[in-house]
Amino acid sequence: MKKYLVIGNPIEHSFSPLIHNHWIKKYHLIDSIYEKKKIEKKDLKNIIEDIREDKIVGVNVTVPFKKLIIPFLDKLDFAAKETQSVNTLFKTNNKIVGYNTDSRGFLDSIQQPHLWGSNSIAPNFLKGKHVFVIGAGGVTSSIISALKSEGAKIVLSNRTREKANQLKKLFPDIEVIDWGKRPPNCNIVINTTSVGLTKDEEIKIDFSDYDNDSHKNTLFYDLIYNPKETMFLKKARLRGNKTMNGKMMFLNQAKYAFNIWTKILPKINDEEIKLLD
């Protein structure tokens, strides 16, 4: 049996087993199974040993272990190194490698032509775009890394300024602004905080002036996908802005993890999108 795992704490609400077992079945990997496991920090070492001994083939890492896992690994891919965040583990050439597929997953999600009302996406369409990133939690470095690689101009704000300042050390080109403030003109606004996970919770940053034609193409993107529409997205939709939740990023990061383990790159169709509804 080939065993795959997602590790985290809490882990009950993870949709990773759902999507990965769906692909395992779809691609007839009959001797494989993907499970979730709630762990403590002290268990990280054992997980790595299990991969070394081929008791586990592949692992997804989620909150709060994406950074904490790094000291246990032999090697990091470029994105994991740059973001200091690992969400996928796999052994190659006897080395346990940490990968970050969140960054690529995010880029895929934002590069969907229909989102921008066209048939194709210009290769450099994010270049020079003004992106306002809200929050400085575990996933934020993956978002910044992806946007930076495409040449976007990034402004960052977090309630605890020190955590935003830490991210500026990793990405010196970003601009950090005070909590509650916002840049005047944004093409994309991304919520990476956990505000909105609980219904009716709301980020106190005012975008009420974005209710006119000149902002109808501004994309409000919330990494949260459960609930499907946070207050952040609801208000944006009612103002007439474009909106998107975190479901496509989730599916795309999963797709790349599955590819690392099995060499199969799944297609994301309606079937997969509906699976998470």
**Shortest distance, CB of residue 5 to ligand ATR, whole angstroms?**
19
- Does 87 participate in binding ligand ATR (rule CB under 6 A)? no
Give catalytic residue positions: 66
- Does 194 participate in binding ligand ATR (rule CB under 6 A)? yes
- Does 166 participate in binding ligand ATR (rule CB under 6 A)? no
User: Is 167 in contact with 174 (CB distance < 8 Å)?
Assistant: yes
**CA atoms in the 13 A half-sphere facing the CB of 150:** 24
Give the three-class secondary structure for 145.
helix
- Does 96 participate in binding ligand ATR (rule CB under 6 A)? no
**Shortest distance, CB of residue 159 to ligand ATR, whole angstroms?**
3
Comparing CA positions, the residue from 226, 273, 253 lying closest to residue 114 is 273
The distance in angstroms from the start CA to the end CA of the chain is 30
Interface stretch with ligand ATR, choices 6-14, 96-104, 154-162, 208-216 (CB under 6 A): 154-162
The 8-class DSSP code of residue 212 comes to S
Interface stretch with ligand ATR, choices 8-16, 105-113, 135-143, 262-270 (CB under 6 A): 135-143
- Does 182 participate in binding ligand ATR (rule CB under 6 A)? no
Range 12-18, long-range pairs (CB < 8 A, 24+ positions): 12/36, 12/38, 13/226, 14/62, 15/250, 15/276, 16/60, 16/62, 16/254, 18/275, 18/276
- Contact flags string 36-65 toward ligand ATR, x per CB under 6 A: ---------------------------xx-
Using CB under 6 A, list all residues that contact ligand ATR: 63-64, 135-139, 158-160, 163, 193-195
